[in-house]
């Protein structure tokens, strides 16, 4: 059974009179048959918990620096009207008691914890987002990662890998950006796709009549992301593409040894790490390895496309750009910032080419 967590905050211009405020609120808690238990806050204002019927549990805190917070937890199925009446009564009474001292009031929708469908997923820069997810379509642990496909009313089916929102059926702007935003001519060209198991890049690329697409992937989402991939993942080979279900590193090394090259390399394996300490995060070394190998199989006039990360992560993006200057082959780059619908944040994409 899920728990609903409500919050009500009053930011004050100056600390409130604790005794007068608490006395003024007592009648509301008594009407709700909630038992008060005052705790020692060790000089940090007033702290009390309240336990009521139907499993309700509340925390009232009056901080010494002038912030009043009220947290209420209720079990799923509790009387929503009663809960709303309690919060309305508290807000009204606190407005009266703190009149003239209120800088801001904030009351948020309930945070739903422990429900069968998880709606809360963080952005890359650590902000919590609540999605309109209403169904778990698919979930599985592959040998490489945890795979979830959740249905959003706005964004369609969403692919989530290891807890990160990867791509939704609404996210054609992502696919277009990582392919060059319509500025490239793929007709008659040879293309290498690294990752992209949602099938979106392959689905869009085959429309552009390339000579051949080679795709290296470890997991695919053929069944539940049809609006993204169409039917291109139904078979490992098509008229102008071949899907190799293999680790990309040994295949890239083999291509480099054989002298096989491509007009375009599209890397959809992973975003730039949030960590800005390459010596502490092995993902940075993996990125450098993929970059070096990809540049080796890129033709002199070719282009390498990849995602960066959230536009707010300027330090991580700067570290990535420094990494581009330390590759075995000198490269130049440009970048583009695109709004990806299901990410609910701006995302940076890179185009890289040999100097």
* Residues 342 and 158 sit within 8 Å (Cβ to Cβ): yes
Q: Tokens 């702290």: give the residue.
A: 47
Cβ of 49: how many Cβ atoms within 10 Å? 16
Pick from 88, 77, 76: which is nearest to 32 by CA?
Answer: 88
Per DSSP (E only), the strands in 25-87 are: 35-39, 46-51, 57-62, 67-75
Q: How many CA atoms lie within 13 A of 100 on its CB side?
A: 2
* Catalytic choice (268, 281, 292, 332): 268
Instruction: Return d(Cα 150, Cα 139) in angstroms, integer.
Output: 9
DSSP for 276-329, please give it: S-GGG-HHHHHHHHHHHHHHHTEEEEEEEEEEEEETT-HHHHHHHHHHHTTSSS
CB burial string 2-18: b at 16+ within 10 A, e below: ebbebbbebbbeeebee
Query: How do 212-217 and 190-195 pair as beta strands?
Result: parallel
- Is 78 among the residues known to form the active site? no
* Burial class for 58, CB neighbours closer than 10 Å (0-12, 13-18, 19+): buried
What is the C-alpha to C-alpha distance for residues 323 and 279, in angstroms, rounded to an integer?
12
Coil/strand/helix, residue 186: coil
Instruction: Point out the residues that are catalytic.
Output: 268
């Amino acid at each position: 059974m899920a728990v609903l967590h409500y919050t009500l905050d009053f930011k004050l211009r100056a600390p409130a009179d604790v005794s007068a405020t608490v006395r003024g609120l007592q009648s509301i808690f008594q009407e709700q048959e909630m038992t008060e238990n005052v705790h020692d806050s060790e000089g940090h204002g007033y702290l009390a918990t309240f336990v009521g019927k139907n499993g309700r549990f509340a925390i009232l805190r009056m901080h010494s620096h002038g912030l009043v917070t009220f947290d209420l937890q209720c079990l799923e199925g509790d009387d929503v009207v009663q809960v709303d009446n309690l919060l309305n009564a508290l807000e009204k009474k606190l407005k009266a008691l703190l009149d003239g001292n209120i800088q801001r009031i904030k009351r948020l929708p309930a945070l739903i914890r422990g429900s069968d469908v998880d709606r809360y997923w963080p952005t890359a820069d650590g902000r919590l987002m609540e999605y309109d997810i209403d169904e778990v379509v698919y979930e599985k642990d592959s040998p490489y990662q945890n795979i979830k496909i959740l249905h959003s009313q706005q964004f369609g089916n969403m692919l989530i890998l290891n807890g990160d929102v990867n791509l939704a059926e609404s996210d054609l702007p992502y696919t277009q950006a990582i392919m060059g935003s319509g500025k490239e001519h793929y007709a008659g060209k040879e293309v290498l796709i690294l990752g992209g198991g949602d099938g979106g890049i392959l689905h869009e690329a085959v429309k552009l009549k390339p000579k051949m697409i080679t795709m290296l992937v470890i997991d695919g989402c053929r069944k539940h992301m049809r609006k993204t991939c169409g039917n291109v993942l139904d078979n490992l080979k098509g008229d102008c593409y071949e899907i190799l279900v293999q680790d990309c590193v040994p295949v890239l090394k083999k291509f480099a040894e054989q002298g096989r090259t491509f007009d375009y390399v599209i890397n959809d394996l992973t975003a730039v790490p949030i960590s800005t300490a390459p010596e502490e995060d092995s993902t940075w070394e993996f990125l450098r390895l993929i970059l070096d190998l990809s540049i080796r199989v890129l033709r002199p006039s070719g282009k390498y496309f990849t995602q960066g990360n959230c536009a707010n992560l300027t330090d991580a993006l700067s570290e990535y750009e420094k990494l581009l200057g330390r590759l075995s082959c000198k490269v130049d780059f440009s970048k583009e910032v695109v709004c990806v619908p299901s990410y609910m944040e701006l995302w940076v994409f890179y185009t890289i080419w040999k100097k």
